Amino acid sequence: MKVLFLTLHDFSDIKEQNIYTDLVREFAHEKHDVYIISPVEKKKKIKTRLIETDGVHILKLKIGNVQKTNIIEKGISTLSLESRFKKAIKRYFSNIKFDLVLYSTPPITLQSAIEYVSKRDSAKTYLLLKDIFPQNALDLGLLKTRGLKGLIYQYFKMKEQKLYEVSDFIGCMSEANVNFLKRNNEHLKSIIEVCPNTITPVEHIESLALNRSIRVKYEIPLNHTVFIYGGNLGKPQGIDFLLKCIESNEMRTNTYFLIVGTGTEYHRIKSFFDAHKPQNSKLIDFIPKDEYEKLVKACNVGLIFLDPRFTIPNFPSRLLSYMQSGMPVIAATDVNTDIGKIIVEGAFGLWNESGDLASFNKNVNILLDSEIAKEMGLKARDYLENHYTSRNAYEIIIKHFN
């Protein structure tokens, strides 16, 4: 089967580990012919090129800047994606007849490119729904239902519906996502299913010497319980509550909070650190993926934060890094996502509502108990291997073609 995967994720080698490359490798391992369009933003100053790695064809398509940029540039670049992807398919893959088109959100603006391949090749289409836009932007006040922002919202709402309608199947991250989508799209009920965020777990080897060296390298106390929050630092992540949690714990002598990542809110977090200079917290900006995974393994508890205003059920993929490292999780989220329910029912972490500082600190106290943390960490790794492997996602998708 010839598979075309469209993504905004920037990668040049499917050996990289993330939710997309790991899934693509499953298709490649099963002898499917895989073609990928993976964009590279213009700020990197790299021209469009077609490369081949491990038998997989990757078109590195030059596009405008869409990530970690201002909303105007992001909007313009996002609107141009559709035509760029479609032109690229016509130019580079004109002689390839695809059987399956895989694509993820964000963005929602690839509909015409997907529809073009679907009609040209009679290909089946599968949407990996990782982002429910524009409702998430409406929840955060970035878009409105009236005025100019209302017009923008209506435009993207139209594009969202067209994307759903061109999809033969829609894979959602969790049951809460499925239920949300079905409630708001009655006519699509039969094509919606759970296809969660997944990775191919690497072997987890506990190395006290390596963990110690990593802590020394980043000047992290050796005798503290380290709570790590890693990944994108943007408005969806509920940064206000994250900072309150750090501030409320800055007098503790046995805990350490480590924030690692970049994003639109990074400078606001840095301003907080510069002003407050918390003694038991540290902010680190971008580090390479491999180095980040080593840093995670040297910590004790993973943190997840989501803005309390969300009406859509987000399910952050950063959870997988924590689970892979065999560590328990504290999730501080809105009440509409089911990530907290899954963590608690799976017995590999704790949940509290975003904004509930007392409950968050109570959860911190519970996980200061090393025996409880160790037991939950083992269950986190076990849950990952049983529910969130790329093999699971591959089998969910491929069953429609067997």
Question: What's the total number of domains in the chain?
Answer: 2
pLDDT of res. 55: 85
In a domain, 46, yes or no: yes
Residues 35, 152 within the same domain: yes
Is there a domain that residue 213 lies in? yes
Give the per-residue pLDDT at 302.
97
Residue ranges, the chain, pLDDT below 70? 68, 71
Supply φ then ψ for residue 193, to 5 degrees: -150, 170
Q: What is the pLDDT of residue 18?
A: 92
Both 190 and 214 in a single domain? no
User: What residue numbers bound the domain in which 286 lies?
Assistant: 208-387
Task: Read off the pLDDT of residues 38-66 as tens digits, 9 standing for 90 and up.
Answer: 999 888 888 999 999 888 999 999 988 77
172, 195, 218: which is the final residue of a domain?
Answer: 195
pLDDT tens-digit series, residues 254-311? 999 999 998 889 999 999 999 999 989 999 998 888 899 999 999 999 999 999 999 9
Could you give the CA distance from residue 165 to residue 130 in angstroms, rounded to a whole number?
Answer: 17
Do 235 and 150 fall into the same domain?
no
Q: Are 255 and 185 in a shared domain?
A: no
- Is 184 in the same domain as 216? no
Res 68: pLDDT? 66
